[in-house]
Each structure stands twice: as structure tokens, then as C-alpha cells.
Structure 1
């Protein structure tokens, strides 16, 4: 082969390799940008059930704004392995309000009396009470002391009350008993509370009732066990008379009141478990027909 032809072939190879490397670097850049976007700014989730009907339908794909609270930073590999992780947040550009729809990690992935982080289980519910609120349910209606704004889906709450009063709750498979499933606090899902939602730094007296209400949160914060001996409260083997909370807590409910596994049943949601605020439906597919619901595209979530 003549040297001139060899040089031409070599030059072409270098040109092809250069283009390939450029494409490879561009692809890597896009992937890194997408990961950063998912971590810091916005994420997408698909709605699998009807617990937020009519606001969200099964088959909706939603955009979640992480700027409101700040994106979460933590060791994802430790979280996947089930190890204890410390969750940090980027600076927030807003704040959560009552009636916002939030996406969060379900705080009870293993058992109902132990808070834990599971990255594979996400819920979407409506926030009806904020840290520092005193929340209660009376005749199925949600209330926060000092707040006159309707909370959650009022029509569905009234429907639940009508079903219960008519004696048809078993027809709908409604479970009446509610958090914290303790004889000291005998609540159900139509008459619940008052329950104070702890705010970071709040100091509460430790008595038998407060042990029933806040045991899960305190044990999760301290990674220790809370015991009650008579009226004496112990954290592991130390007597405590007061407790200062380290985190903020929220109360979450589904809009489909008669079919929603929410805070009425499992209690407080720790702030570190919140991913962000659901803002829009970007795609919606009817699971029965596989047809796109065009009218829901870019629908704002309210």
C-alpha cells in the first residue's frame, strides 16, 4: 500500500474516532445534566392507584418540583442497602403550604410501628397539616385550629360520613380504626385528634399519651427504644421527662378519602422523607385502554 493512501485512511480513522468521542462526551454530558436535574430541580413519577382521585388519576405521570424544599442529598447506596443515612437539603426556594400535593417516601416500609426510608416506595398525598399545627377530624371533616380554609377533598369527606351513618362501611371495605392504635388514644378516621404536629425544636412533656402519639418519631430520631413503666418514660434505660424534636412533621391524606392509606392510619411524615411538590401532569395514559388522555396533558395540580 502506498504511503499516501495509508495516510488518508489513518486520517479518516482519526476523524471518525474524533466524532465518536465528541458524541460520547455529549451523551455523557446529557446524562450528567439529567441526573443533576433529577437530584436538584425536578423529577417525574407515575401514579399507580386512585387514592388521589379526582385530582390525580391512575396512569398520570407527574412533574415534581424539588426547589420548593430543596433537593435531597444523601448516600444513595447506603439507603439502598437499608443503612442509616443522613439526609441534607439544598437551599429551598419556597415553602410547603396546606393543601399542597407532595411526593414522599412512604415512612413505614417494613412495619407500622417503625419509621424507615425505602427509596423504592413513593406516595403522593395532600398535605393537610404543617409543623406546629394542631390537626383533628370531626365527623370526617379535616380541621386545623386557627385555619378556616377547607382542607383536602371536602366532598369525599362528607361522602365518607354519609356511608358510615348509613351503616354501609363494610360494603366499601372501610377500615375505621386510626393511628395510633392505642387504648389511651382511641381515635378513628371520622373522629381523630386533636394531634399536634411537632416542629423542629419543639419541647413536649413526656407522658403516657404523648408516648402513644410520638413513639415512632422519637425512636426514629434517636435510634433508641421508648418504654413506659407506669407513668415513667424511658428512652432505652434513661428516664426522660421532656423531649425536644429534631425534625418537622406533616399530616398527609388522599383525596379519595374512602380508599387512601394515609396519615389517618400511619401517623406523622418526617420532613426528610419529602421529595417535593407535585405541580403538573405531563402525560396521562388510561390503563384500561392504553389511550392517551390528551385533556390532562400539562394539567396543573391543585
Structure 2
């Protein structure tokens, strides 16, 4: 004969169910905040390494998870957070998920929480990066960055066949630099404690970073003097670390070649594996990409 449940038995079972559900949800949230998260790849910029329809695992333990000091910020508010100790630093050729740093309408570095990019690390803090005839170069790394075949394709493509909106690159000063996605740099990547000598020309390379760190305007006054917040300046010591990220499909990637540096605090984590992939048009499951490791 079955035992009849009384009122309090039912209440206890409901409570245990809610508590159990809450614990599971809490574990999932904690995993996403501190350990791993999943992101979808929406564009071709990292092709062939990552393609639209891929879902990737982002390991937050590598660089250390970000812990927000406050959660009530709005887009454009300063990012107030601290980072847990990671397993290691971001390395050359890591594919990194980060918050896109540039507010296009105001052309300054700003944090937007749900607007993320995934690109390959070409330059670490303190590196000097260049592009020569379409190939990435770095004074502290002798290996190949990304997909060499894509850089070869860029190298062999005549400038006349590349749209002006694509070929011209940061800092878009055609008189003094005339940098392109085929011939770029050398450009020093800011490192905490690193110092640069500034003048009325090269300040353009670091204006966004300096204004982001100081909250002051870096300008050339009527007397052709470089000023920060109205005061003359001829050098600057960086307060934080920055990175230079680029896409593997170098002819079709919106990356640091166009908008410059990414603050270290904007880094979400390092891509380690494709969870699964589905063709966005047909819905077909790509079995060959299931749990595929993303190699550096």
C-alpha cells in the first residue's frame, strides 16, 4: 500500500526542487563567469580557422576571469573590474575574444559589455608590429602568424584591386604615414610603464590610448605645440597593457590595422575549441568541426 503524501511532504519536495534548480543554475553561471563561456562566430574574418556558424569555447582561466567591481554600468561607462590570476598570459597567435574597443561615433576607446570580437594576437604589450608586403612581422616573434596562405593572397593582390576603404589603414594620415594593410608600421604596442616620445605627428598613433587613460584631450594647439588637457607634453608613460589583434582572412577583417589597440581589461578569454558548427543557411550540422581543437 502506497504511503500518502501529506501537505508538508509536498512542500518539502517543492522546496528541494527549487533549491536543487537554484544550485544548478548557480553552478552554470559561476562556470560562465569564472571558467568557460561559449560564443558564436558571425563573420568570415577568421576564416578558415573559424567560420560563420561555429560555436567556440572560450577559456577564461588562461588569462584570468574578469570580476566586475560594479554591475550597474551603462555602455560607455568606465570598465571597473579586477582580474583573477590566470594560468598564463595571452601569447602570440592566441585567438582571443575581447570587447570591441572603439566607439565609432565619438572615435574613442569605450567599453560595451555585449559587443565582442574574436581575433588572433599579433602584438603583445611592448612588441613592435609591422606588415611587410602583406605579411605580419613582430620584433619578438619569428614564427608565422595566423594563416600564411591568406597573407600570401593579400601580397599577390594588386593594390588597384583593393577598395580604398579596405587598403588604407590606421592612423589614416596619408601625408605622414600612408600605411596600408600591406605596408604598415613599425608600431610599438603600449606596455604598462613603457614610455614614448611624442611630437605633433606621431601623437596620432597613441591619442586614443592616452585619452582613454587620462580622460584628457591630446591636441596640437594654435602654436603647433602638442598638449594634453591644455598642458604641453613631449612624452608619455603608459598606465596599462595593450594588444594588437588581427583576423586570419586579412583581406576581409575589421581589426587593429584599422582602429589600433585593445586594452588588457577588455580581454574576455582565449578560444581553445569549437564546440559545434551549423551552416547558417541550410542548418546542416558540420560533423567535421564537432569539438575540433583550435590550434595556434
Q: Is it true that 1:241 corresponds to 2:234 in the alignment?
A: yes
Structure that is richer in helix per residue? 1
Say whether the 8 Å CA contact 2:66–2:268 is kept in structure 1.
yes
Say whether the 8 Å CA contact 1:174–1:258 is kept in structure 2.
no
Q: Is it true that 1:98 corresponds to 2:92 in the alignment?
A: yes
Distance between the aligned counterparts of 1:277 and 1:125, measured in 2? Answer: 10
RMSD between aligned alpha carbons? 1.8
| 1:184-263 matches, cutoff 5 A | 184-229=176-221, 230-263=223-256
Tell which deviates more after alignment, 77-86 or 285-294. Answer: 77-86
TM-score (norm: length of structure 1): 0.91
Matching residue of 1:3: none
Say whether the 8 Å CA contact 1:67–1:92 is kept in structure 2.
yes
SS where residue 202 of structure 2 aligns? Answer: helix
Say whether the 8 Å CA contact 1:207–1:231 is kept in structure 2.
no
Distance between the aligned counterparts of 1:123 and 1:76, measured in 2? Answer: 23
Distance between the aligned counterparts of 1:216 and 1:69, measured in 2? Answer: 24
Q: CA deviation at 1:84?
A: 2.0
Distance between the aligned counterparts of 1:263 and 1:228, measured in 2? Answer: 24
Matching residue of 2:53: 59
Runs (4+) of structure 1 exceeding 4 A deviation are: none
Matching residue of 1:269: 262
SS where residue 178 of structure 2 aligns? Answer: coil
TM-score (norm: length of structure 2): 0.93
> Which structure 1 segments of 5+ residues have no match?
1-7
Say whether the 8 Å CA contact 1:99–1:128 is kept in structure 2.
yes
Instruction: Identify if the C-alpha distance between structure 1 residues 174 and 237 changes in structure 2 by more than 3 Å, giving closer, same or farther.
Output: closer
Q: Is it true that 1:180 corresponds to 2:171 in the alignment?
A: yes
Distance between the aligned counterparts of 1:124 and 1:78, measured in 2? Answer: 25
Match of 2:123 among 129, 133, 137: 129
SS where residue 136 of structure 2 aligns? Answer: strand
Q: CA deviation at 1:81?
A: 4.8
| 1:161-176 matches, cutoff 5 A | 161-164=155-158, 167-170=160-163, 175-176=166-167
1:210-242: CA deviations, max 9, x gaps? 311000011011111111235522111222222
Matching residue of 2:276: 283
1:106-149: CA deviations, max 9, x gaps? 00144373011111211000001111111000101100124321
Distance between the aligned counterparts of 2:70 and 2:253, measured in 1? Answer: 29
SS where residue 20 of structure 1 aligns? Answer: helix
Which structure would you say has the larger Rg?
1
> Which structure 2 segments of 5+ residues have no match?
none
Distance between the aligned counterparts of 1:96 and 1:84, measured in 2? Answer: 23
1:86-113: CA deviations, max 9, x gaps? 2210111111111110000100144373
Matching residue of 1:4: none
Q: CA deviation at 1:259?
A: 0.6
